[in-house]
A and B are shown apart, each in its own frame.
Chain A
Amino acid sequence: MSSEQDAESIRCLVAKVGLDGHDRGAHVVARAFRDAGFEVIYSGLHKAPEEIVQAAVQEDVDVLGISILSGAHDTLVPKIMDGLAEYGAADDTLVLVGGVIPEEDREGLKEEGVAAIFGPGTSIEETIEFVRENAPQR
């Protein structure tokens, strides 16, 4: 049906996980994604990894953006990745991490299955471009 071809839209979950209580950055990203035409589900603050997994699976998101500033990424991100795998959602969900991630931790996160890490100073256009190019085709 010709008029319905453009009904598809990129779905993202912007997630705050753990004790980190700063979500200004997550709000900015959510708004920018909205303006880029994505559908953004925002998790709210202080979510446990299993809550993020539940939301990502139920909402069937193409992209999961995890924002972490607390430094707990090495414990929290693997838990989320394991949870996604449990529901068979790890392979076709593009997982991004944003926040303060030290250089030496980045390789480990990528091995966990994180597709990209956006540190402080990343332009929002760059992030949107990355999502557009890498969001899974289903």
Chain B
Amino acid sequence: MTMDESDESLLEDLLAGEHRALARVISKIENRSPGYRDLVSELYAHTGDADVIGITGSPGAGKSTLVDKLAEEYRDRGETVGVIAIDPSSPFSGGAVLGDRIRMASTVGDMDVFVRSMSARGTLGGLSTATADAVKAMDAFGKDKIIIETVGAGQNEIDIVRTADTVAVLVPPGSGDDIQTLKAGILEIADVFVVNKADRDGADRTVQELREMVHLGEESGLGGGSGGHHGADAMSGGGDDRGDADGDDGDDEATDWTPPIVETVATKGTGVETFIDELANHRTYLVDSGTLAEKVRQRYAEEIRTLLREDVHSLLEDELAESGGIDDLAEAVRLGETDPYSIAGDVLAPVEACIENLETNADSNAE
């Protein structure tokens, strides 16, 4: 891979800790500017030291406020923080109002908290690629903790979170009946549950419902023998000794993880320390159990797949353009002249032929 001169010096500046260079590199990544791939591929050599934390949950759950307090606490502990805050973009104009920064007030004036807002402008996994690459940039820059705050769209928002080592799911009090906790999706990906706004009515019930859900999950197999033990603790103990119980368990059985439930009031900073402890516990578990290596491997596999998919996608777009553009083809389907399956077959046929050709060539070369 070769970079042009300006990218070369941009990379140097980023590695030297210049904030503007980091900002620029992230813009290049977002814009997919020419040469951004070479830049990102150079970043990999400098990554791997940051803890990546994903924070997700429904709109209004208090993600930004909690992220703000989290960043403040990490700074107090002497660690540098990068935040990627994702907001939705308009399906009509493509524009976006990125408002999560407003809540990031505790760390203002402190450049060692680097907050970057991203809009969900990409399609076809574009956002998750851009997010993962922006994480790489912050990691290479030298951030100790990188927090990804997701868009908060809904129950199935699990894609971006795959970029994170540890995923915290915020569940505000009164977020639906107990069937919600049985559904598939966002609750399944939690490594830590946070019942934020814990001073509100219904918080206890929400904690209880989550606890039952976690308990059920253990009984159904994954937890194995240790499940009952965790469950008993969870049922009898309050929110406070919960953290301790879990910490103890982590020492002697590093094979599975039971998502703890933390109660916070982000606006006041209540519970943030416990939350950080649980994040650290999960990190320790990941490392000790060898799960981290597995996770990282899966993540890279996914990155490779996504890149290939994007490349193939753009090859096909070119192919489509050659065959008269997608609009004509769609119109032909509308008029009943053909159907999408036939078109897909036709467009792909020359590509397949090409690849087969390559393979036979390779075979004959090998012999």
Chain A residues packing against B (C-beta within 8 Å): 1-4, 7-9, 11, 30-31, 33-44, 47-48, 50-51, 54-55, 57-60, 87-89, 138
Contacts and interface: CB of A to CB of B under 8 A. Distances in A.
B97 A3 contact: no
B114 interface: yes
A3 B313 CA distance: 9
Interface stretch (B116-124, B160-168, B253-261): B116-124
B20 A59 contact: no
B321 A9 contact: no
Q: Is the interface of B mostly helix, strand, loop or mixed?
A: mixed
Contact of B101 (A8, A43, A48, A138): A43
Contacts of B117: 39, 41, 59
11 contacts: A1-B311, A2-B314, A9-B94, A11-B27, A33-B95, A35-B93, A42-B99, A58-B19, A59-B116, A60-B23, A60-B27
B95 A38 contact: yes
Given A50-B109, A55-B101, A57-B23, A8 B95 contact: no
Contact of A8 (B31, B99, B318, B321): B31
Tier of interface size on chain B: 35 or more
Contacts, number: 107
B317 A3 contact: yes
B320 to A, nearest CB: 10
Contacts of A48: 108-109
Nearest to A8: B31
A89 B115 CA distance: 17
Given A1-B314, A42-B102, A51-B109, A37 B94 contact: yes
Interface of B: 19-20, 23-24, 26-27, 30-33, 89-90, 92-99, 101-102, 105, 108-109, 111, 114-117, 119, 121-122, 126, 310-311, 313-314, 317-318, 321
B102 A3 contact: no
Nearest to A35: B93
Contact of A4 (B32, B89, B95, B99): B32
Contacts of B93: 34-37
B96 A58 contact: no
A9 B23 CA distance: 15
Contact of B111 (A8, A38, A54): A54
A87 B20 CA distance: 7
A41 B98 contact: yes
B99 to A, nearest CB: 5
B102 A44 contact: yes
Contacts of B310: 1
